[in-house]
Amino acid sequence: MRSILLLAGLIWLAGGACAQTTVSGKVYHKSDGNGMPGIHIVVKDKKTVATLNFGITDQNGAYRITFTSAEDSITVSASGLNIGKQLFRLANRSQVLDIAADLQAIRLEDVKITPPKIRKAGDTINYRVDGFTGQNDRTIGEVLRKMPGIEVKSDGSILYRDKPINRFYIEDMDL
Amino acid sequence: MKRPIIALWCFLSGCSYGPKKVQTNVIPADQATVTCYYLFSKTKEDEQFPYRSDTLVLDIGSRLSRFYDPARLSRDSVVAARLKDLTENAQDINSLEVRKDGRAKDLSDLPGTVSSSSDQGESSRLYKNRVTNHVSVIDHFRTNDQNWTAGTDLFYEDDIGKLPWQLENVTDTILGYTCQKARLQFRGRDYTAWFTADIPISDGPWKFMGLPGLILKVEDSRQLFSFTLIGLRQLPAPVAIAIDKKGAVQCSRADFEKLKKKQGTGLQFNKTGGHVILSAVPGSFDYIPMEIE
């Protein structure tokens, strides 16, 4: 009997050292009270360095996140494409956190794509001319000289890898 | 007893009972507000450099997203349009040459050849629902043992559920965004993903979703498959996303993958004067699935 009590005590102690905490609640529109799905809820430690766990609100705007932390407080953030980011500093205990969100469109930084300067299709190599054009280039010869593998002779003939080119197209014009 | 009551309610409220039932089969469309461009590189086992890289597009709406290869789809649609024209305007054809298997030849030197090769780009389109964690995959099949023109659209529904991502407190910067590392075991492969909380969209390339931020890069541990974000655009006007399954036949994921493996090398079409050549793309096509379970 005594050993069982001791065991129970040990389990209680072990449980106390790394107790699981559950934060749950709902994200809703500040104006009409409707739940907002797809909002990211991230639980981080006190210094907002380590992510403890995360959740995404369901169709009704509800979320439930369970995590383990020995610290006395945690940081909860709510973010989405159509709401402003919100941060909450909370005590590390299981609790209900309902979040009223304001509609606010987020402006993302565009990432521009640069097409490759050289492209090979069958036996034809395509160079993107504006990828090689500098501000001071006046003739096509000056641009051609910069393209890898191409050599422009003083007599005006064009060589590719030391072989004369018999067909030469610029922007689909046969020269 | 219930039915007459519903009918009466419908009568009173002025709505019809019939069309309501049909609407449950219609997949609600969404509007994309963000478009992402991913470079998808495939590398063969024990090789250092990718054998193929394509730019795939992810259109993201509030719940739905669409993932596809626009270049491959346009090549496929050009070939399909020529084949359709062939069957509809048969009167101006004098001769037809069909080359398959060992007799296949490369027609790319002939002017006016249109072609779509199986090893170039991705023909599957994926539709993801981030709220229900559901993926629909649709593809066009033109298998070797079928008539060329008898192409079929097949799709399968995939309830992948909440993906068991493991977050790691490791950060990196990709394209100016601070990214966090996450790991995932999914259908026989181990993946490492980098996502950014600065873009609060739980989406990513292919079937990947469910992280608290957009996935900017993901690759498997053997580095056979890699997706890297190369472009991002917030659309000035939203673009509709509708799941178009018109004329498509539903199958299982296993059957779908079996057909993917069986697909031919691709098709070339050339019409010069009244002479038409249809030829398979020469060589062989080796399909390496991402899902091995």
Distances (CA, A) of B124 to A52, B24, B206: 36, 25, 10
Taking contacts as CB-CB distances below 8 angstroms, the residues of chain B near A53 are 167
The model carries a pTM of: 0.77
Mutation site, A42, A47, A81, A123, interface B, largest B CB count within 10 A: A81
Beta strand pairing status for B134-141 and B64-68?
unpaired
Q: Specify the DSSP element, H or E, that contains A24.
A: strand A20-29
Residues of A in contact with B167 (CB under 8 A): 51, 53-54
Helix locations, chain B, DSSP H: 2-13, 17-23, 70-88, 253-262
Low-confidence ranges of chain A (pLDDT < 50): 13, 15-16
| Beta carbons of A122 and B109 less than 8 Å apart | yes
Q: How deeply is A89 buried, as exposed, middle or buried, from its count of CB atoms within 10 A (0-12, 13-18, 19+)?
A: exposed
Q: Residue B2 to residues A68, B14, B76: CA-CA distances in angstroms?
A: 50, 18, 50
DSSP letter, residue B49: S
Tokens for B181, please give them.
């590392």
Q: How far apart are CA A141 and CA B41, in angstroms?
A: 35
CA B244 to chain centre: 12
What is residue B245's predicted lDDT score, i.e. its pLDDT? 80
- Residues with Cβ within 8 Å of B24's Cβ and at least 6 positions away in sequence, in order, are none
Q: Per DSSP, what are the bridge partners of residue A174?
A: A169
Mark yes or no for CB contact B34/A111 under 8 Å: no
Are residues B89 and B272 in contact, defined by beta-carbon separation less than 8 angstroms? Answer: no
Q: Residue B34 is encoded by which pair of tokens? A: 């963000």
Per-residue pLDDT of chain B (293 residues; tens, 9 = 90+): 444 444 444 333 333 333 333 333 445 578 898 999 999 999 999 888 899 999 999 999 988 999 999 999 888 888 888 888 888 887 878 888 888 888 888 888 888 888 888 888 999 999 999 888 999 999 888 664 443 334 678 899 999 999 999 999 899 999 889 999 999 999 999 999 999 999 999 999 999 999 999 999 999 999 999 999 999 999 888 888 888 787 788 888 998 888 888 888 888 988 888 888 988 888 888 899 999 98
CB B16 within 8 A of CB B7: no
> Which tokens is B149 given?
């023109």
Tokens, residue B271: 């019409």
CA torsion angle A88 A89 A91 A93 (round to 10) = 30
The CA-atom distances, in angstroms, between A1 and each of A4, A12, A15 are 5, 17, 21
Nearest CA in chain A to B216: A111
Contact B202 A56 (CB under 8 A): yes
Any CB–CB contact under 8 A between B169 and chain A? yes
